[in-house]
Structure 1
């Protein structure tokens, strides 16, 4: 069997056969074409193993690809793009894999312009490979929001900002870095600009965590809740809102807490001691109606409009 036969098997989708055939060929001769064939069949095999949920095998193949790639000619950088997509796949399946470490070692500036180009699928925009990598980086940052981690992520974000300076996610990541670095005012400025143009629930929620003014926090949480369709993602915000409303309007606090507890039970989440204590304090209170609470949400829009005017 020759290398061209390997590529024919790959073209036919016969990945297992191609992999079995290329292994001894590559072991015997690590030439130009056998190396290229080994790489691309390895990429296919890694993806197949992930589809089969054979995660450890897939990860071992990825590690082999990491060793193999530097020995392969990749003038058009398609191999590099494949490695970036492979790293995204690994990140999604292996909690111990650090995208920050991977892309720092690889070098974010090595990505080609095509890696930063937004794609299309069924008429909908698809994030570029570069932006997907940056997204994974900031999942790590949010999971471990320390100055050290933020400093490691900063140069990665700087490169992303060169390609998409006004991208909403990049601006949000910038605000996250500012917050971690203790520059809360700068983070707030960015969020205020973002909420004037975008309606994602998490933007309002994250901004509410940065502010001290209770009325503004209440307004932002109301907007975050009304902008989020799934109740399981609303429940924690409802609990926070209930706490803020407790001293102002117990009937509204009761409504929010009841919704929170119901959603948590449906999702199989535990009811925390804090939630139980608040529920006990509101046990005799009759909640407002859903219509009344939605009207209250709409009233809070004026507070948000005033906030964004000042930004």
Structure 2
């Protein structure tokens, strides 16, 4: 069998056969074309192993690809792009894999303009490889919001901002860095600008966690809840809103808490002690109606306009 036969098998989707054929060839001859074939068949095999849920085998292949890449001619940098996509897969399947460490060691400036270009899938825009990598990095930052981690992630965000300075996610990540570094006012300012142009529920929710004024917190949570279509994602926000409303309007607090608890039970989530205690305090209170609460949400738009001024 020759190299062209390997690529023919690969093109036909016969990944297992191509892999079985290239391994002995590469073992005895690590030439230009055998190395290229070994790399691309390895990429296919890694994807296949992930599809088959053979996670450790897939991760082992990924590590082999990293070593192999250093010996391969990759003039057009297509191989590098393939490795970046592979790293995204690894991040999603291996909790111990750090995208922050990986891309810091690799060097985010090595990514090409094509790696920062929005892609298309089924007629819908898909974030670029670069933006997806930065997104994974900031998942790590969010889970471990320390100054050390923020400082390590900052240069990666700086590179992303060069390519997409007005991207909403990049602005959120920038606010996250400011928040961790103790510059909450700057973080709030970014979000205030974002809510003028965007209507995603999580933007209002995140801003509600930053502001201190309870009027603004309540208004932002109302907007976050009304902008969120799925009740399962509303339930935690409803509890926070109920807690804030408890001293101001117990009937509304009861409404929000009832909605929260009902959905948590439906999802099979536990009812926390905080929720149980609040429910006990509101036991004798009659909740407002759906129509009344929706009207209250609309009234909060005035407060939001005040915040955005």
Structure 1 Cα separation of the partners of residues 141 and 269 of structure 2: 25
How far has the Cα of 1:124 moved from its partner? Answer: 1.9
- Residue 134 of structure 1: aligned partner: 134
- Residue 269 of structure 1: aligned partner: 269
How far has the Cα of 1:123 moved from its partner? Answer: 3.0
Structure 1 Cα separation of the partners of residues 292 and 116 of structure 2: 46
Structure 2 Cα separation of the partners of residues 95 and 120 of structure 1: 28
How far has the Cα of 1:48 moved from its partner? Answer: 0.3
Asked if 1:248 is matched to 2:248, the reply is yes
How far has the Cα of 1:230 moved from its partner? Answer: 1.1
Asked if 1:233 is matched to 2:233, the reply is yes
Secondary structure of 1:120 counterpart? strand
How far has the Cα of 1:229 moved from its partner? Answer: 1.0
How far has the Cα of 1:17 moved from its partner? Answer: 0.3
- Residue 65 of structure 1: aligned partner: 65
- 1:1-311 residue pairs with structure 2 within 5 A? 1-309=1-309
Secondary structure of 2:41 counterpart? helix
How far has the Cα of 1:125 moved from its partner? Answer: 1.2
How far has the Cα of 1:53 moved from its partner? Answer: 0.7
The Cα offsets for residues 16-51 of structure 1, whole Å up to 9 and x where unpaired, read as: 000000001111011100000000000000000001
Structure 1 Cα separation of the partners of residues 304 and 124 of structure 2: 30
Structure 1 Cα separation of the partners of residues 266 and 97 of structure 2: 32
The Cα offsets for residues 143-196 of structure 1, whole Å up to 9 and x where unpaired, read as: 111111111110000000000000000001000000011000000000000000
Structure 2 Cα separation of the partners of residues 180 and 87 of structure 1: 26
Secondary structure of 1:60 counterpart? helix
TM-score normalised by length of structure 1: 0.98
Q: Could you list the runs of 4 or more consecutive aligned residues of structure 1 that deviate by over 6 angstroms after TM superposition?
A: none
Structure 2 Cα separation of the partners of residues 206 and 126 of structure 1: 24
Structure 2 Cα separation of the partners of residues 258 and 47 of structure 1: 45
